[in-house]
Structure 1
Amino acid sequence: MQKKEYSLDLGGKTLTAQFTNLTDQTDGSLFLRLGNTIILATAVMSLKTQEGLGYFPLTVEFEERFYAAGKILGSRFMRREGRPTDEAVLSGRIVDRTIRPLFSQHIRNEVQIVVTVLSIDEDDPDILAVNAASLALATSPIPWNGPVSAVRIAKIKGRDGFIVNPTYPIREHEEIELDLVACGSARQVPESLLEAALEKASEEIEKIQAFQKKIIAEIGKTKRIVEKPETPAQVSSLFAEHIEEKIDNALLSGAGKAEIYALKDTWMKVFADTIEGGEKTIANDLYEEKINERLHTLIIEQRKRPDGRGFDDIRELYAQAGGFSPVLHGSGIFFRGGTHILSVLTLGGPQDSQLVENMEIQSKRRFMHHYNFPPYSVGETGRVGGFNRRMIGHGALAEKALMPVLPPQS
């Protein structure tokens, strides 16, 4: 087996990137190791363009393997992994949100990133996954404007200095005052402490960036060219004649998205009636591009926001604590402009704690925040029931924000 390794000292530990021909059918892949935590990251871009698609088809999968921790888990009747755990979904979202903005949104070839945890010790694989995905993409022929780097910075209460990529034992048994990556888990800290943490994170990220760029310069492949589809002159002229001058009114009407959607319906009808056999994707992409372009121009050059607010104005707020039903243990209603939330609380005993059994740890979870986003909340129809990755991610953000203010279990 062919093998090439690169190493970097990071926070007192060795970060090792190993490139082999084990997965040579991929566009880019590597093993990334920190301590005894090892992950495999692969990047593949389909050769086939998906015609008629109105978005960039990127998927990121974070796969946990029980063998990575030397465990045999699962149900009594099926001893293997099933659907992704919440932790796996959240780790995948960290990778997705980091790499997605660096792709051209005009790409219509499917791109898939798969991060598989092969071995896990005391080092968390989530931050490792971002750096591994970046290297897999950056050394591949897939067009991508990276690299990017990630690091976790923690501050233990009562101690000086910061910890780079704190281990599980530290995060479980120490009182963490600031965790820069785990969104929302920071308690109230002085601004100076946050600034110092950001400076430390920047220093470590620069090291990882330099490490990646060295590897890319040595073994990186020539990027594939993905041309942006050109809008036919006839379509551009048609848009300018019938729609262009109406965009500002739709954006600044204060009617939310209703006017924008209505104008889009008008445009698609004009397009269909005028361009016989025209590809609807061209019309859709042009409309979205023009709306996005004009929205940025209004904000940056004219300091106008779509709903008419000034830069320092916030939407109208309303809050109500309790009073929804005497049967419920607790309830709350919160409005911010057109966004309305109903929150319900249920209290239980220690026996109601959720048993968490995953690749990394086995523990009990005493606080759970479930985020639901039904289709009727945006005036649409759709599937009701179950939950998706977005719901899991948003619920985790709220949960981490609330955890520090919960009373101790004792």
Structure 2
Amino acid sequence: MPVFREEAVISGQSISLETGNWAKQAHGAVVYRRGNLVLLATVCAEKEAKEGQDFFPLTVDYREKIYSVGRVPGGYIKRENRPAEHETLISRLIDRPIRPMFPEGYFAEVQLLITVLSADTSSTVEGHCITAASAALMASDIPFAGPVAGIVVGRIDGKYVADPSFKELKSSDLELVVAGTREAIVMIEGASDEFTNDEIIAAIEFAHAEIKHRLDLQEKLASKMNLKKREVKLLLPDSSLLKEVSDFARTKLAKANQNPDKQARSADIDSINKETLEHFKAKLEGKENAELNLKHVKNYLHELEYYVVREAIFEKNMRADGRKNDEIRNISIELDV
């Protein structure tokens, strides 16, 4: 297998992507290097979804090996321990921007592993992990509408900093994890001192500009490899059936969502969902793929509620409980209890 490598100086540091020399059994594998930080991102996917599968089984697993800091487990137990809490949280950070980039209706099992081979305390790792995970998918034949890249933004002495070190973060009044494509931001998570809207927007714009350099790197690597994505069978719901569901339940859901009593509102929505399912269960009985189509109806009801709430907020200036967007509900407190 030929070895492909792409390198660029980004935010004052050399970042390289290499594939073809490591993890050759994987469908996609990239070694990501930045300073002393070395990540191995690998991805494997089943050719087809399991029969009856109605969700996307994506597993993302981020691990920091003890040898990445020049140590090996000693004592009686010489194996690596189970993932620490921060490893689980970073796995979720990687999952969040990656998952929506797979095609709708793609339900084949995918395993995405990101392993720290060499650690570097001069940089936070979250953004690099997201970029490495996306690069592994770009270097594979797995269908993926990427690339995606991530970055951690800090602000020190009023200046925004890309991927600050752990030491720098202590003096930063902002820690923002941002992931995005060339067209849009797809995930934001972080914490800060009190910031104005303009300051947060400036931080996001700074992040997006930096993200584009990381996207360029991935696209150049993928262009060199010139891989053809595999053809997959997508399990998409019947659009005419979804229209029937919308016609049957949308108006009812919109009315139920305006109830100011939260418990009554939830009860009304549950009742409408049950009524809709019973209606279509009777309608689909005896037809081909009746059970699968009923699952589509159930899943679409959750989407329909999302559309109803979103429509009320942006088009009618109304919250889910009937309040205007600038109205605050009555709140009471008691002291000396």
TM-score, normalised via structure 2 length: 0.81
Tell me, what secondary structure is at the counterpart of 1:145?
Answer: coil
Q: Would the aligned equivalents of 1:37 and 1:124 in 2 still touch at CA under 8 Å?
A: no
Equivalent in the alignment of 1:210? 216
Q: How far did residue 202 of structure 1 move?
A: 1.9
Asked if 1:14 is matched to 2:20, the reply is no
After superposition, the C-alpha distances for 1:181-219 in whole angstroms (9 at most, x for unaligned) are 294420013444333322321221111112222222221
Contact 1:17 1:32 in 2 (8 A): yes
Letter matched to residue 208 of structure 2: S
CA distance in 2, matches of 1:37, 1:321: 52
Aligned match of 1:167: 165
Partner of 1:248: 251
Q: Give the gaps of 5 or more residues in structure 1.
A: 325-410
User: Kindly tell me: are residues 249 and 11 of structure 1, through their superposed partners in 2, closer, same or farther at Cα, counting changes over 3 Å?
Assistant: same
SS of the equivalent of 1:185 reads strand
Displacement after TM superposition at 1:30 (Å): 0.5
Which is further off, 302-311 or 262-271?
302-311
CA distance in 1, matches of 2:202, 2:176: 11
Seq. identity, %: 23
Equivalent residue number for residue 258 of structure 1: 270
Q: Distance in 2 between matches of 1:267 and 1:104?
A: 30
Distance in 2, matches of 1:193 and 1:306, equals: 27
Instruction: Give the number of equivalent residue pairs.
Output: 315
Could you tell me how far apart the structure 1 residues matched to 2:89 and 2:320 are? 32
Whole-angstrom CA distance in 2 between matches of 1:134 and 1:118: 18
Partner of 2:203: 197
Q: Quick check: 1:99 aligned with 2:102?
A: no
CA separation in 1, counterparts of 2:330 and 2:72?
A: 50
Q: Contact between 1:253 and 1:306, CA under 8 Å: does it hold in 2?
A: no
| Shift in Å, 1:111 | 1.1
How far apart are residue 40 of structure 1 and its match?
A: 0.5
Q: 1:201 to 1:247 in 2, by over 3 A?
A: closer
Counterpart-to-counterpart distance in 1, 2:9 and 2:287: 62
Cα distance in structure 1, aligned partners of 2:330 and 2:85: 31
Matched residues in 1 for 2:287 and 2:300: separation?
22
Equivalent residue, structure 2, for 1:24: 24
CA separation of 1:125/1:291 partners in 2, compared to 1, >3 Å: closer, same or farther?
A: closer
Give the match for residue 307 of structure 2: 296
Deviation at 1:84, TM superposition (A): 0.9
Amino acid corresponding to residue 176 of structure 2 in structure 1:
L
Compute the displacement of 1:27 (Å).
Answer: 1.6
Question: Does 2:78 match 1:79?
Answer: yes
Q: Which residue of 2 aligns with 1:55?
A: 55
Residues 263-312 of structure 1: CA deviation (Å, up to 9, x unaligned): 3541463256x226744122211443365257526744893668453561
C-alpha separation between the residues in 2 aligned to 1:248 and 1:170?
Answer: 53
Q: What is the CA-CA distance between 1:314 and the residue it aligns to? A: 6.1
Name the residue aligned to 1:386: none
1:242-391 alignment, distance < 5 Å: 244-254=247-257, 255-256=265-266, 257-267=269-279, 269-271=281-283, 274-275=285-286, 278-289=289-300, 292=303, 295-296=306-307, 299-300=310-311, 303=315, 307-309=320-322, 312=325, 316=329, 318=331, 320=333
Structure 2 CA distance for aligned equivalents of residues 319 and 33 of structure 1 = 54
State the shift of 1:260 in Å. Answer: 4.4
Matched to 2:78, the amino acid is R
Root mean square deviation, CA, Å: 3.1
Query: Offset of 1:317 from its aligned partner?
Result: 6.0
| One-letter amino acid of the structure 1 residue matched with residue 193 of structure 2 | R
Q: Which residue of 1 aligns with 2:175?
A: 179
Shift of 1:116: 0.8
Runs of 5+ consecutive residues of structure 2 not aligned to the other structure: 179-188, 258-264
Q: Is the 8 A contact 2:14 2:34 kept in 1?
A: yes
Aligned match of 2:232 in 210, 215, 226? 226
Query: 1:221, CA displacement in angstroms?
Result: 1.7
